[in-house]
């Protein structure tokens, strides 16, 4: 229960308030801009991101607990807009982790929690999907936390208006921006020649802004990231959460064919 509460508080799951990320971000500095451009030009993008989130819980200035959550995100995107993002999270060695999916099969965008279609609303039609949807999820893949790609998501009060990327009702201001980035530094990482970049970025989720300190390791040969770390703090009611996340970006592939079945919504969902 504590794992689910903390994951919810961190913005990685809002069951009844699921919304798609819309692009309202500033242009990132190089080399992030170069990577983002490479992802946008790719016919297909596939990645598996595994990671561990460690949360130190403080109350009245005293650390009261430490919570460790295992994360796994599967990411598929085609240039025509189809996408599938599957995010799993749970305690270490959890045999049945929680599962959140966002699927765009070309006809509609739907969210699912534990295999059941999320309530509120059932879906966005193709005409209602913000035009910046693909750019937004690729930006999070390039810069941000993988677990944040699928959340927050959509609710009935946040369907787009007439213009792209505009929402009704609640104060949703989705944006993420790289605030500062240091120069790339050469580093040997296992068998790879890599560049590591230290950077600060802001993740604005609804009315809450998270200031994140991060590092990313990029393969010199492919130009694709293979490891990231993030550090940030979050106040939730009377608790102070000190969070660290370590991500490994596995199976990062561009322009490889994606089986059409990946984007099919199973019957009964």
pLDDT digits (tens, 9 = 90+) for 232-248: 998 888 899 999 999 99
Given this model, what pLDDT does residue 227 score? 94
Neighbours of 269 (CB within 10 A): 11
Share of the chain above pLDDT 70, in %: 70
Go through the domains of the chain in sequence order and give each one's CATH number: 2-257 (2.50.20)
pLDDT tens-digit map of 179-193: 888 888 999 988 899
User: Residue 129: is its pLDDT beyond 80?
Assistant: no
Share of the chain above pLDDT 90, in %: 36
């Amino acid at each position: 229960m504590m794992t689910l509460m903390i994951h919810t508080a961190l913005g990685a799951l809002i069951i009844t308030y699921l919304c798609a990320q819309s692009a309202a971000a500033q242009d990132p500095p190089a080399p992030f801009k170069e990577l983002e451009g490479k992802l946008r030009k790719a016919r297909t993008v596939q990645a598996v991101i595994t990671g561990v989130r460690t949360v130190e819980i403080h109350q009245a200035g005293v650390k009261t607990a430490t919570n460790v959550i295992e994360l796994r995100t599967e990411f598929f995107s085609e240039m025509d807009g189809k996408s599938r993002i599957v995010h799993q999270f749970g305690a270490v060695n959890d045999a049945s982790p929680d599962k959140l999916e966002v699927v765009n099969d070309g006809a509609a965008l739907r969210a699912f929690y534990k295999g059941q279609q999320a309530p509120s609303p059932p879906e966005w039609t193709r005409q209602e999907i913000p035009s910046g949807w693909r750019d937004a999820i690729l930006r999070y893949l390039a810069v941000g936390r993988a677990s944040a790609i699928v959340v927050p998501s959509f609710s009935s009060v946040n369907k787009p208006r007439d213009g792209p990327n505009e929402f009704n009702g609640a104060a949703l201001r989705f944006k993420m921006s790289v605030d500062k980035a240091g120069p790339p530094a050469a580093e040997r990482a296992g068998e790879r020649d890599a560049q590591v970049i230290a950077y600060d970025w802001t993740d604005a989720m609804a009315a809450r802004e998270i200031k994140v300190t991060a590092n990313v390791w990029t393969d010199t040969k492919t130009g694709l990231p293979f490891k990231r770390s993030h550090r940030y703090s979050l106040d939730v009611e009377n608790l102070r959460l000190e969070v660290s996340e370590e991500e490994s970006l596995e199976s990062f592939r561009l322009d490889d064919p994606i089986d059409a079945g990946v984007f099919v919504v199973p019957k009964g969902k």
